[in-house]
Amino acid sequence: MTFVESMNIEGFVVAPGEQQRGRIPALELADGTVVSLPIHLINGTRPGPRVYLGAAIHGDEVNGIALLARALATIDPKALSGSIVCVPVQQPLALHADHRLPIAQFLKSPLDQVPADAWTCFPGDPDGNIAQVIAARLFGLITQCDYALDVHTPTRGGRYVPIAILGNPDLGPGAAKAEELAHALGSGWIMRGERGMYVSDGILCVEATRAGVPCFTFEIGEGGRLEEESVATGAQCVLNLLRSLGMTEGERVPPAKTHLMREFLGLRAHHGGLLVTEAELGQELKKGDRIGVILDVFGDVLETVTAPVDGLFVRATTLGTVSRGERVATLGLL
């Protein structure tokens, strides 16, 4: 697609060299309140691609909201090639609940709200439940674009390195382009796996790529926190992506090193207790390297957590306590 004329998105008409912010209706609640999606549209003055940027499809992913706002604040529409469709809060009910999911609706009618997570039920269903309706609304915006970026953080109690996570490699020509864009992002961490939740059918980036809109998941920071370092790093990554597509001027800021991984390996506690993590997030670990310890309430060591194989320490548990079976760390395998 090329855009040198006004773009029309959901009734918003944006002239070349202009931008608009507004809201589009998505849901209606029991008292008639309309839940709307915030949208930021920027239309350039020169031909170029249309890019979708989305964050906070889970309500505790506030870093993504802030990093998109910071990146777009630097964009001059008159110097932009192509256009941008940004939905900084993709699930407003979840943000309102300050929870991964719109928990009040789930508690009200658990069976009706399955699936409860909009991120997992793309392309959605305009006649489905809340999660499916939101997914369908978002998918309608995504499929008007050439490329898409879906920004996340882990839930509270977990912290990722800034990592681009690709969907299935067998999603057609879009999969190769998505990987190219993941490198362009410049976070320094890329997961190219073939199993697990990130490559499952129904996930936003999987279904967008399958529909011809190359997309990947970008995880950064920790859920429930607004962190300056994550916001600054994430905003720079978004600008890297736009620059790689020829949409904005300036040089990409490359990472010192790019780690291309093939699989996540989650490590779980064999005892409940206090978790003390000793390894540094992002650290390269060899088999047998110590990651941390689990203490009982008297301060005695119940378990020493070590790397079972060589890998990269890509996700840390930040909670002070764990129960048996809870995740204490995640490695990325090369």
Q: What is the mean pLDDT of residues 122-136?
A: 96
For 259-278, the pLDDT digits (tens) are 999 999 999 999 999 999 99
For 168-199, the pLDDT digits (tens) are 888 988 999 999 999 999 999 999 999 899 99
Average pLDDT value over all residues in the chain? 95
Q: What is the pLDDT of residue 4?
A: 66
The 8-class DSSP code of residue 77 comes to G
How many CB atoms lie under 10 A from the CB of residue 301? 12
C-alpha distances in angstroms, 298 versus 273, 291, 318? 10, 21, 21
SS3 assignment, position 207: helix
For 297-318, the pLDDT digits (tens) are 999 999 999 999 999 999 999 9
303 CB-near residues (< 8 Å, 6+ apart)? 269, 270, 271, 273, 293, 294
Confidence class for position 111, pLDDT limits 50, 70, 90: confident
Strand partners, 36: 25
pLDDT at 3 over 80: no
Q: How far apart are CA 126 and CA 151, in angstroms?
A: 23
SS3 of 138-168:
HHHHHCCCCEEEEEECCCCCEEEEEEEECCC
Q: In this structure, are residues 307 and 288 in contact, taking their beta carbons and an 8 Å threshold?
A: yes
pLDDT at 99 over 80: yes
The closest alpha carbon to 67, from 298, 236, 257, 285, belongs to 236
| The two structure tokens encoding residue 104 | 């009040």
SS3 assignment, position 218: strand
Q: In this structure, are residues 21 and 85 in contact, taking their beta carbons and an 8 Å threshold?
A: no
Instruction: Indicate the Cα dihedral angle 327, 66, 142, 130, nearest 10°.
Output: 60
What share of the chain in percent tops pLDDT 90?
90
For 194-216, the pLDDT digits (tens) are 989 999 999 999 999 999 999 99
The 8-class DSSP code of residue 61 comes to -
Written out in words, the top-level CATH class of the domain with range 7-244 is: alpha beta
Q: In this structure, are residues 84 and 40 in contact, taking their beta carbons and an 8 Å threshold?
A: yes
Q: What is the mean pLDDT of residues 76-100?
A: 96
Q: What is the pLDDT of residue 2?
A: 46
The closest alpha carbon to 42, from 291, 185, 247, belongs to 247
Q: What is the mean pLDDT of residues 111-119?
A: 89
**Tally of CA atoms within 13 A in the half-sphere of 269 that contains its CB:** 27
The string of DSSP letters for 281-332 reads: TT-EE-TT-EEEEEE-TTS-EEEEEE-SSSEEEEEEE--SEE-TT-EEEEEE
Q: What is the mean pLDDT of residues 319-331?
A: 97
The closest alpha carbon to 164, from 91, 241, 275, belongs to 241
For 216-234, the pLDDT digits (tens) are 999 999 999 999 999 999 9
For 4-63, the pLDDT digits (tens) are 689 999 999 999 999 999 999 999 998 999 999 999 999 999 999 999 999 999 999 999
**Segments making up each domain of the chain, as ranges:** 7-244, 263-333
For 32-47, the pLDDT digits (tens) are 999 999 999 999 999 9
Confidence class for position 113, pLDDT limits 50, 70, 90: confident
Q: Is 263-333 CATH 2.40.50.100?
A: yes
For 67-85, the pLDDT digits (tens) are 999 999 999 999 999 999 9
Q: What is the pLDDT of residue 109?
A: 82
The 8-class DSSP code of residue 115 comes to S
Q: In this structure, are residues 291 and 277 in contact, taking their beta carbons and an 8 Å threshold?
A: yes
Confidence class for position 1, pLDDT limits 50, 70, 90: very low
pLDDT at 252 over 90: yes
